[in-house]
Amino acid sequence: MVATLSALTNAAQAASYYEADDYYAEGGLAPSEWQGKGAEALKLQGAAEHDQFSRLLEGRVADQQLGATRDGEIAHRPGWDLTFSAPKSVSILAEVAGDRRLVEAHERAVRTTLGLAETHFAATRIREDGEVRRETTGNLVIATFRHGTSRALDPQLHSHNIILNMTQDDSGQWRSLEPRAFYQLQKQLGAIYRQELAGEVQRLGYAIDRGKESSFEIAGLDAATLEAFSQRSQAIDVNRHSKITPDRHAILTPC
């Protein structure tokens, strides 16, 4: 899946997003940044700081505590993880061949997609006079964490975009987010990301081969190379039995 959306079950999950999984992570931490107009309103800039991020996941924002009281305790859904993953060929050339421009291209595509999602999808539900209405807010608080490999340690450039369960209404009050549109249009968000990334990749001088539903791969990487980097276990098996490893020096560079 190019784009996946999953609900966070508890604030303690925050720590996993900081774990480094690639050579380029600095200080043992996955590169991160704050995004969204909601983050700007809270004066959040640069890398996401762990304690601050954890407080927001708990629903503690400005001077408010978001959530509903149940049995004397605050119940608050932390947020959602909207993950965008680059095509395998982009991951190989970025993480194995070392073209870090592709990492920057991926980040720009992610920012553009999140900006569109924020403008069109961000909303809250407000209860007034016994009725509930949906109000478009146009602002989100997002902490983005970039990773370079999959759990199997294959090259897999992807970003976890943690959309905090909070948005500011027209009066300036912070409220819980209405996530329905993100679930309904998850596939469309993935398509937007792919289209943006394809344009970025081509501007760097790479040719691309387009597939179905806006999918693409960088032209020139054969199926064997993609397969070798698709599952670590397969790569190990190839090395053990054939003594043949993918030639990193033969991987394409842009024109």
pLDDT for position 28: 61
Give the integer Cα–Cα distance in Å for 117 and 126: 20
Type of residue found at 146: R
For the segment 143-157, the average pLDDT, to the nearest whole number, is 85
pTM (2 d.p.): 0.86
* pLDDT tens digit sequence for 165-190: 999 999 999 999 999 999 999 999 99
Torsion of CA 104, 110, 111, 115, to 10 degrees: 160
Reported confidence tier of residue 237, pLDDT bands at 50, 70, 90: very low
Mean pLDDT of 195-220: 95
Residue 13 scores a pLDDT above 80 = no
Q: Cα separation of 3 and 156, whole Å?
A: 13
User: Using alpha carbons only, what angle is made at residue 167 by residues 82 and 170, rounded to the nearest 5 degrees?
Assistant: 145
Taking CB atoms within 8 Å and a gap of at least 24, the contacts of 243-249 are 248/96, 248/97
Percent of the chain with pLDDT over 70: 84
Give percent of the chain with pLDDT exceeding 90: 62
Contact between 145 and 30 under an 8 Å Cβ cutoff? The reply is yes
| Catalytic positions, written as ranges | 17-18
Residue 43, Ramachandran bin (φ over 0: left; ψ between -120 and 50: alpha; else beta):
left
pLDDT score, position 236: 43
Assess whether pLDDT exceeds 90 at residue 103: yes
pLDDT of residue 168: 96
pLDDT tens, 59-100? 999 989 998 888 878 889 999 999 999 999 999 999 999 999
Greater confidence (63 vs 251) lies with 63
Instruction: Tell me how many degrees the CA angle 85-7-151 measures, rounded to the nearest 5.
Output: 40
Please report the pLDDT score of residue 184 as a whole number: 94
Which residues are paired to 35 by β-bridges? 142
Per-residue pLDDT at 244: 34
Mean pLDDT over the full length of the chain: 86
Angle, vertex CA 74, rays to CA 70 and CA 77, nearest 5: 105
